[in-house]
Amino acid sequence: MKHVTIVVPKGIATNLSSVTGSYEILVTANEYWQQLGNKPKIDVRIAGFMSELQLNRGFFSIHPSSILDIEKTDLVIIPSLSYDHDNVLKENKELVGWISEQYKSGAEIASICTGAFLLADAGILDGKTCSTHWNAASDFRRLFPNVNLQIDKLITVENGVYTNGGAYSFLNLILFLVERYFDRDTAIYCSKIFQIDIERSSQSPFLVFQTQKNHGDDLICKAQTYIEENLSEKISFESLASKLATSRRNFDRRFIKATGNTPVEYLQRVKVEVAKRTLEKGRKSVFEVMNEVGYSDDKAFREVFKKITGLSPLDYKAKYNRETSG
């Protein structure tokens, strides 16, 4: 039997739904497995360094078992956390150390949404790829520059480490773990019971691109502002670098360091974000929106849009436009 530990961080950081949701799905999977005539496959515990944690202004509370009683576990699940990341990490140094020791002893580790901050603080993600909520990406990159953050990915898997994107996408991670620890049929059963889309693989359609201006490089801020104010124009980055009195090579280097994107990638993401918002709220056609954000080639626009969002412009409009979806 495999031992699964859902950890409960200190403070008001913990997201209750990611604890209870993970527990319910795993327990349901285990019960279904036994109904088929099998022996129990997992033993799920909720544990922490405190006997009680009150959440949501005291409306809810968790009573974890003592984590000190768990010498070894096979899978650690870290729930989603609040966005006060610096304080969360300070409050949970003891838990981070425990997670690190479990990983060194052979345990697999799964982080839900912003739980990746604790995982990264343990040093487990250094040099690895991970995901987290797109809204926490800027803070994550600031705190953990040695981690390859890929916020478009719903789930990442590397060397016994699992991470996932934001909010309720943790349901897909838990289904993934059910399939890994039980089998495909059990995962499909749980997807039907809890009505979760088992085939979802990206959080790109839900991503809201943020313009990343808290990096402290004034020259790059000026470049970003220029890009955002001239979306319908054909922008020459060679000319823009010259206007800002720097070489193109230095401009590219500083831009990537400041934003995490090349100038071309940044331009594409801003264009697509504007296009998304227009498609969501207006009556304009895809062709009109394409022209407004400076694309004249329909094929190029569709390819870039789908690369960033995972959907074609037409499919995106059909899914998110208020009038067509109403």
What CA–CA distance (Å, rounded) separates 138 from 113?
Answer: 14
pLDDT of residue 228: 86
Amino acid at the residue 215: H
Are 134 and 184 members of one domain? yes
- The domain that holds 115 is classified in CATH as 3.40.50.880
Residues 189 and 224 in one domain: no
Is there a contact between 260 and 141 (Cβ–Cβ < 8 Å)? yes
Do 307 and 162 lie in a common domain? no
Higher-scoring residue by pLDDT: 265, 280:
265
Do 57 and 18 contact (CB within 8 A), yes or no? no
Residues spanned by the domain of 229: 218-325
pLDDT at 56 over 80: no
Q: How many domains does the chain have?
A: 2
CATH number of the domain residue 274 falls in: 1.10.10.60
Strand order in the sheet with 108-111: 65-66, 42-48, 2-8, 75-78, 108-111, 161-164, 155-158
- Picking from 203, 231, 259, the residue at the C-terminal end of a domain is 203
Domain-ending residue, one of 176, 203, 230: 203
Q: Give the mean pLDDT of 306-318.
A: 89
Asked if residue 326 has pLDDT above 70, the reply is no
Q: Report the candidate in 124, 115, 112, 142 with the shortest Cα–Cα distance to residue 216.
A: 142
Do 195 and 248 fall into the same domain? no
Q: Is residue 103 part of a domain?
A: yes
Domain co-membership, 225 together with 180: no
- Percent of the chain at pLDDT > 90 equals 61
Q: How many CA atoms lie within 13 A of 271 on its CB side?
A: 31
- Whether residue 211 is contained in a domain is answered as no
Retrieve residue 104's tokens.
């060194």
Q: What is the mean pLDDT of residues 88-96?
A: 94
Same domain, residue pair 173 and 248: no
Per-residue pLDDT, averaged over 200-222, amounts to: 71
User: What's the longest Cα–Cα distance across the chain?
Assistant: 73
Question: What pLDDT, on the 0 to 100 scale, is given for residue 283?
Answer: 80
List Cα–Cα distances, 13 to 91, 109, 124, 257, in angstroms.
10, 19, 21, 30
276 has a pLDDT exceeding 90: no
Instruction: Please state the separation of Cα 197 from the chain's center in Å.
Output: 17
For position 35, what pLDDT does the model report?
96
Are 287 and 313 part of one and the same domain? yes
- 177 and 41 belong to one structural domain: yes
Q: Percentage of residues in the chain with pLDDT exceeding 70?
A: 94
Q: How many helices (H) and strands (E) does the chain have?
A: 15, 11
Question: Are 125 and 174 contained in the same domain?
Answer: yes
Q: Which residue bears the tokens 């504007």?
A: 274
**Same domain assignment for residues 316 and 224:** yes
Runs of H (alpha helix) within 105-247:
116-121, 137-143, 170-181, 184-193, 218-229, 237-243
Number of Cα atoms under 13 Å in the Cβ half of residue 142: 11
Residue 125: predicted pLDDT: 95
pTM higher than the cut 0.95: no
Residues 180 and 257 in one domain: no
**Per-residue pLDDT band at 280 (split at 50, 70, 90):** confident
pLDDT band of 209, cuts 50, 70, 90: low
Using the predicted structure, report yes or no on whether residue 61 has a pLDDT greater than 60.
yes
Retrieve residue 146's tokens. Answer: 């040695």
Q: What is the pLDDT of residues 158-189, one digit of tens each?
A: 889 999 988 788 999 999 999 999 998 899 99
178 and 54 inside one domain = yes
pLDDT 10s digits, 97-142 = 999 999 999 999 999 999 999 999 999 999 999 999 988 988 899 8
pLDDT computed for residue 248 by the predictor? 95
Closest CA to 289 of 303, 302, 305, 275: 275
- Confidence grade of residue 278 (pLDDT, cut at 50, 70, 90): confident
